[in-house]
Structures are given as C-alpha cells and as structure tokens.
Amino acid sequence: MGENNMSKKTITSSSRRKFFKAAAVTGAAAVATVAMPNVGAYSAAHAKTVKLKMQAAWGGGIFLEMAKQYGDRVNAMGGGSLSIEVLPVGAVLKTAEIADGVSKGVVDASHSVTAYWYGKNAAASLFGTGPSYGFSSSELIGWIEDGGGRALYDKTLAKIGLDVVGFFAMPMPAQPFGWFKKNVKTVADVKGMKYRTVGLATNVLQKMGMVVRQLPGGEIQPAMKTGLIDAAEFNNPTSDKDFGMQDVSKHYHLGSFHQSQEMFEMQFNKKKYNSLSPQHQAIIKHAAEAANTANYNMALVRYSNDLGKLMNEHGVNVYQTSDAILDAQLAAWDVVMKDFRKDALFNEIVLSQQAYAKKVMKYLFMNQPNYRLAYTRAFGDPAKVKI
C-alpha cells in the first residue's frame, strides 16, 4: 500500500507542475490576445473610415462656422471611424439645388434651413419660418423632438419625395425685421416696399402690402445697394455686418413675427444614412444635439458684440419693431394660415404645434419672472443701454 501511494503522489505532483506551467503559458497568451487586438482593431477602423461630404448653404461667416462645429463634433465622436467634410455653398450645389442634391446622393448631407425647400411644399416652412403661437425656436425644436413634430416632418418629406433623414440644431433668436432707409413705425411706412425674405414670411409680408423677393444671402446687400430692393432681412447682427448691410442702411429694426423662430436642418441621404452602423447613426444624431448648444452659445456672444459694433463703429440706429407692425404681422399670419390650412397635412402640423404651444407656453409664461425688469434695474432701459 505504501509504495503504490508514493507512486500516485509522485505522479499527481508531476501532473500539477505541468498543469500550472501550461496554464501560465496559456494565461500569458490570453493577456496578449486581449491587449494586442486593440491596436489591430483601431488600425482597421481607421482603414475603413466612413467619409461623408456635407454641403452647407453658406459661403462663409458665422453660419459656416456653425456647420463646422457640427462636423467637428461628428469627427471627434467618430474617433477616426467616421468623418464629415463641410463644404461651402457652391462647392457642389447652389442653394436651390441642395435638398434635391442630397436626396439624389450628389452629396451625402447638407446644412441648411427648411425654408429653402419651401417651394416643394409650404409645410416645410412650418419647421422653421412659421407662425409662433407664442413659442420661440427653443420650443419649436422641443415640439419636433418631443411633441410629435418629427413624425410630421418625416411625413412631409415622404409626401414630396425627398429621400433624406433630417436633424435639427441651433434655436435661432427671433430674426430682425431688418434694414430700412428710415425708421419705419407703421404699416403705411412699409407698404409697397420691395423687401427680401424667405418661406411663409413671403406670404405674410405680401399680405401687408410689401413686394417680396426671395434672394440668397450673398445677393441681399448688392440688391439693396442697386435699388433692386428697398429693405431686407437675413438673420442676425453678425451675418448682417459681414454682408455689409451697414453700408447701405443706417436703420436696423430688431424683433419680428415674420420669422420669429428658425433653426438649422442637417439632411442626410437616406440610403447613405441607412448604410451606416447604428453607432455612426447615433453619432450623427447626438452631434446635432451637441451642436445645438455650441451654436447657440457662440451666437449669443457674437451677435451681441456685433450689434454693439454696428451701433458704435458704424453709426447704425437700432430700433425694436413697433407694436403696430407686429400686430399687423400677426393679423397677416391669420389670413395666410387660413388659406394654407386647406391642405390636410399642413393643417395636421398646425394643430400639433398649437396643442404643444398651448400647454408648454402656458407653463413658461406663468413660471418665468419678468427678466426685462431685472435687466432694467441693473442697467437701465435696454433700448438706451450702450454696449
């Protein structure tokens, strides 16, 4: 019994030594397997980078910077596996060609606004340059993302045959009524004026007796300089200053209901978008949410600074649009909407926006303190404060 036990003990000890030696080798190999593929996978991902081209509707200025802020966020989140190259307007497509160009795959994506394909269906303007019902751009984006607007946006795209997937960013402050040869206070002051705007705002101001012409941003200042138009708006003090509007007018009217809310629309060719991985689709979506904040924060500083420059360095007189003109704009919206709401889809969108505005804006109006009162206490009448 004793010898047999010794033999078994010897064999067992030997087996254990071999097992642990083998395990050590296997373990080392396993560690190497875990560590090494990261390098290979990283290189492989970079070798297969998905590269997209995004055509903007802007040739330069702060809007092109904002488009690039979106592209920068996609590129950073993509970590080398996904990239977007942002191109200025005209690089591939003209402004009027952008929506169709993305739909047909001429470019992969665009950075524009819905009013630029308003000619295909007036409902497009409701996702940008529509009536407010008391809400601003921030609430309009809220309606799109959480109030039923996205399904109606997709329904609108399908109805007109645009084969795209869209995302939104940058809740733009209310756009100025714009640049005039004099301080306009009444509807009689603007009646008959040749004026530039876009989207449903065109119909609204026509109802007020203005003669409206839709021009690309870069053509506004030359048109006013030559007398093709008498007055115009584009979007904000920074863009307006860059266009040189202060050289053709010294009367700038802020705040208007003709375009009291708007935001950027990033469209992607649907076939291209559907070919992307779920991870890349998520990056495209969430980069829009990130750019939404980045664009707005930059805008507040730049718009405010450039308004000061227009006043202090260029002698521009800045006014708040009169209540008489604002009331006339709202009355014109009522007439315009009555006509367009005969279309079932248009009416469905309006009813959805109104339901959202009725409850959301009640909360906001009841909850928000009078911020103007606090500003006036600290600095004085906003219309008279120098910046």
378: left (phi over 0), alpha (psi -120 to 50) or beta: alpha
* SS3 state of residue 84: strand
Q: Does a structural domain hold residue 220?
A: no
Give the C-alpha separation, 109 to 93, whole Å.
11
- Which pLDDT tens digit goes with each residue over 181-190? 999 999 999 9
Domain-embedded: residue 155? yes
How many angstroms from the chain centroid is the CA of residue 42? 32
- The whole-model pTM stands at 0.85
Provide the pLDDT for residue 13. 44
Q: What is the CATH number of the domain that holds 276?
A: 3.40.190.170
Q: How much is the pLDDT for 47?
A: 56
User: Residue 165: what pLDDT?
Assistant: 98
Look at residue 385 and tell me if it is in a domain.
no
CA distance linking residue 59 with residue 217, whole number of Å: 9
DSSP symbol at 60: S
Q: What is the pLDDT of residue 36?
A: 40
**Residues 33-88: pLDDT tens digits?**
344 444 444 444 455 899 999 999 999 999 999 999 999 999 999 999 999 999 99
- Does residue 313 sit within a domain? no
**Structural domain tally of the chain?**
1
Look up the domain containing 103 and give its range: 49-171+262-299
Query: Exposed, middle or buried by CB within 10 Å (0-12, 13-18, 19+), for 58?
Result: buried
- Angstrom distances, CA of residue 167 to CA of 111, 132, 189, 288: 10, 20, 39, 7
> Would residue 339 count as lying in a domain?
no
Q: Is residue 75 part of a domain?
A: yes
Candidates 316, 334, 328; CA nearest to 186 is 328
Q: State residue 28's pLDDT score.
A: 41
| Residue 237 burial (C-beta neighbours within 10 Å; 0-12, 13-18, 19+) | buried
Give the helix/strand (H/E) hosting 46. helix 2-47
What was the pLDDT predicted at 183?
Answer: 96
279 within domain boundaries: yes
Profile the chain (387 residues) by mean pLDDT over runs of 10 residues.
37 42 42 40 60 97 98 97 97 96 98 94 93 95 97 97 98 96 96 93 94 88 94 95 96 96 97 98 98 98 98 97 97 95 97 98 97 97 92
Is 180 inside a domain boundary?
no
Q: Write the DSSP string, 93-147.
A: --GGGHHHHHHTTSSSEEEE-GGGGTTT-GGGGGGSSS--TT--HHHHHHHHHHS
